[in-house]
Structure 1
Amino acid sequence: MLDYSYMELFLPRGTSREAARQLLTEHAEYGHWELHRLRLYSDGSRRVWLRRKIIRAVSTL
């Protein structure tokens, strides 16, 4: 069964689209995060949920 670790980011309304893209790209490339959900609010702010798989080692003994 897969388990996931979640991280929530809040991007204020002054954040440009390019800056948001760059931030999410860095998290994906270096932290192995994937986009789970993005909510864009009417004031221009964004709330982003990222997730990544938790790999658990199973003992073979």
Structure 2
Amino acid sequence: MKETLQPAATGMGMPTRQYEYLIVSVRPDESAPIAYQRLREHAEYGKWELERSRLYVGGGRKFWLRRRVFRVERTLNVY
């Protein structure tokens, strides 16, 4: 199972993104219940939600999970 995190880009001049994405790829020889268990753990503990899933001809699967990016603004001015 392969997981790829695509964080939101930040900085001057960068467009603000509302979501960050986690792509989970499952090989055809891996069991589906174990893959679904991993997705449930991401959803429960990491606050991820399933955006898209795809089943390929060879039996491989790919899942796109997303979660909202929370921007925290500074409230105190410390000198």
Tell me the TM-score normalized by structure 1. Answer: 0.84
Match of 2:6 in 1: none
Give the count of matched residue pairs: 60
Write 1 or 2 for the structure with the bigger share of strand. 1
> Which of residues 32, 42, 46 is equivalent to 1:31?
46
Q: For the residues of structure 1 that align with 2:65 and 2:51, how far apart are their CA atoms?
A: 5
Choose 1 or 2 for highest CA Rg: 2
- Runs of 5+ consecutive residues of structure 1 not aligned to the other structure: none
Match of 2:31 in 1: 16
Q: For the residues of structure 2 that align with 1:6 and 1:21, how far apart are their CA atoms?
A: 17
Percent identity, please: 47
- Runs of 5+ consecutive residues of structure 2 not aligned to the other structure: 1-16
Q: For the residues of structure 2 that align with 1:44 and 1:16, how far apart are their CA atoms?
A: 11
Match of 1:54 in 2: 69
Tell me the TM-score normalized by structure 2. Answer: 0.67
